[in-house]
Amino acid sequence: MNFIDEVKIYIKAGDGGRGCVSFRREKFVPRGGPDGGDGGRGGDIKIHAESSRRTLLDLKYARHHIAKHGGHGKGSNRTGRNSEDIDIIVPVGTLVKDAETGEVLTDLHVDGQLYIAAKGGAGGKGNAWFATSTNQAPRYAQAGIKGEERWVILELKLFADVGIIGLPNVGKSTFISKVSAARPKIADYPFTTLVPHLGVVKYGNMETFVIADIPGLIKGAHEGMGMGTRFLRHIERTSVLLHVIDISQESYGDAWQNFETVNGELFLFNPSLMEKPQVVTINKIDLPVTRERIKKEIDIFDKKGIKVSAFSAVTGEGVTEVIHEITKKLHSKKAV
């Protein structure tokens, strides 16, 4: 399934039906009064969050959502039918924004949450409403009220307990495939992961947490470089960040430089991301070049008061310890 996390759609609620101008015509009623019925209500456009939906893919190809107008009123005080509402199903975690102003209209962060994005117009009143002692035969009725319409942007931010961050090709996808049933694409070149992947990690006494593999960040990501800001927003809803570093590649420089590069992009995108607790790790300790360099790199972090865990996502060495560090951060976060 393609992962689509932002779409722009047009929504138009139904117009209210017209009121009716009508008079009673009965054989033995010499003075039939007005009996025009009211128009029906136009349909609403509702946006509904469901946990079973994972992507906005369906809405990419259905960009116009227009509800029908209400039925027109009829004689004999018959009211026009109300139009059916249109339900747009989106994943939990979807923001609804006004496309023109950028205003956030709602945050659908709860399963089953409903938002009326455009209200249908009320039906017009029939001429029966306007009869008075001085005007017993009104020959006018109300037109229906127009339904609301607008362009909106739907922006999905994934919910996960842990977000895996790091430069491209540091082994984030291999790690999530090792600890969960998620099966992202894994290859020996940068930007293998083009979409976020979610996995469920089991630990302890049948406890679990949800982990998200976020596509790799590079310098300038907050300005759109590489994967750009498209996936940075998915980090905003996580509780803990797992920062994976690779020191086996000469082009990436030392571990501290990598650490500062990624965190710099997080800060420039949203400074509040720096408040999230991080589990800092060095991957690929199965490689001789990493074994050779790792003590020196960990000492640099130790002097700055940052604990670093080492592991190999390929062999599984140290993975249990990394999971333990993650769960400690999660539990301390929940206790606050």
248: CATH:
3.40.50.300
- Whether the full predicted model's pTM is greater than 0.85, yes or no, is no
pLDDT of residue 66: 97
72 vs 334, which has greater pLDDT?
72
* Residue 325 to residue 243: CA distance in whole angstroms: 12
Considering only 31-40, 145-154, 174-183, 217-226, which range has the smallest mean pLDDT?
217-226
* Residue 147 to residue 42: CA distance in whole angstroms: 7
When pLDDT is averaged across residues 96-125 and rounded to a whole number, the result is 95
Q: Is the pLDDT of residue 179 over 50?
A: yes
Q: Which residue has the tokens 């082994």?
A: 171
Q: Is the pLDDT of residue 188 over 50?
A: no
Same structural domain, 209 and 94: no
Same structural domain, 15 and 118: yes
CA distances from 15 to 40, 100, 155, 269 (A): 9, 22, 28, 42
Same structural domain, 152 and 179: no
Share of the chain above pLDDT 90, in %: 57
Q: Is the pLDDT of residue 51 over 90?
A: no
Residue-averaged pLDDT of the chain:
86
Q: Which residues pair with 49 in a beta bridge?
A: 90
Same structural domain, 111 and 193: no
59 is a domain residue:
yes
When pLDDT is averaged across residues 124-146 and rounded to a whole number, the result is 93
304 is a domain residue:
yes
Same structural domain, 53 and 143: yes
pLDDT of residue 225: 47
Instruction: Give the domain-ending residue among 136, 156, 176.
Output: 156
* Residue 326 to residue 204: CA distance in whole angstroms: 12
Same structural domain, 269 and 299: yes
Q: Which residue has the tokens 């138009």?
A: 12
Instruction: Give the domain-ending residue among 125, 156, 187.
Output: 156
Structure confidence at residue 160 as a pLDDT band (50, 70, 90): confident
When pLDDT is averaged across residues 127-155 and rounded to a whole number, the result is 93
Same structural domain, 75 and 188: no
Q: Which tokens go with 307?
A: 């604990």
132 is a domain residue:
yes
Same structural domain, 139 and 175: no
Structure confidence at residue 130 as a pLDDT band (50, 70, 90): very high
pLDDT of residue 30: 60
Residue 153 and residue 197 in contact, taking contact as beta carbons nearer than 8 Å: no
pLDDT of residue 67: 97
pLDDT of residue 216: 57
150 is a domain residue:
yes
Length of the chain: 336
When pLDDT is averaged across residues 114-136 and rounded to a whole number, the result is 94
pLDDT of residue 5: 78
207 is a domain residue:
yes
Residue range 282-316, pLDDT digits in tens: 999 999 999 999 999 999 999 999 999 999 999 99
Same structural domain, 45 and 178: no
Same structural domain, 166 and 124: no
pLDDT of residue 55: 81
Q: Is the pLDDT of residue 75 over 90?
A: yes
Q: Which residue has the tokens 């979807």?
A: 94
Same structural domain, 295 and 174: yes
Residues of the domain holding 103: 6-156
Residue range 224-244, pLDDT digits in tens: 444 445 667 778 888 999 999
Considering only 29-33, 49-53, 265-269, which range has the smallest mean pLDDT?
29-33
| DSSP conformation class of 41 | P
Q: Is the pLDDT of residue 196 over 90?
A: no
pLDDT of residue 187: 42
1 is a domain residue:
no
CATH code (residue 98): 2.70.210.12
Instruction: Give the domain-ending residue among 104, 128, 156.
Output: 156
Share of the chain above pLDDT 70, in %: 86
pLDDT of residue 315: 94
Residue 90 and residue 154 in contact, taking contact as beta carbons nearer than 8 Å: yes
Give the count of domains, the chain: 2
pLDDT of residue 321: 94
Considering only 167-181, 222-236, 252-266, 272-286, which range has the smallest mean pLDDT?
222-236
89 is a domain residue:
yes
Structure confidence at residue 334 as a pLDDT band (50, 70, 90): low
Same structural domain, 180 and 260: yes
Q: Which helix (H) or strand (E) holds 326?
A: helix 319-335
pLDDT of residue 29: 64
* Residue 294 to residue 283: CA distance in whole angstroms: 10
262 is a domain residue:
yes
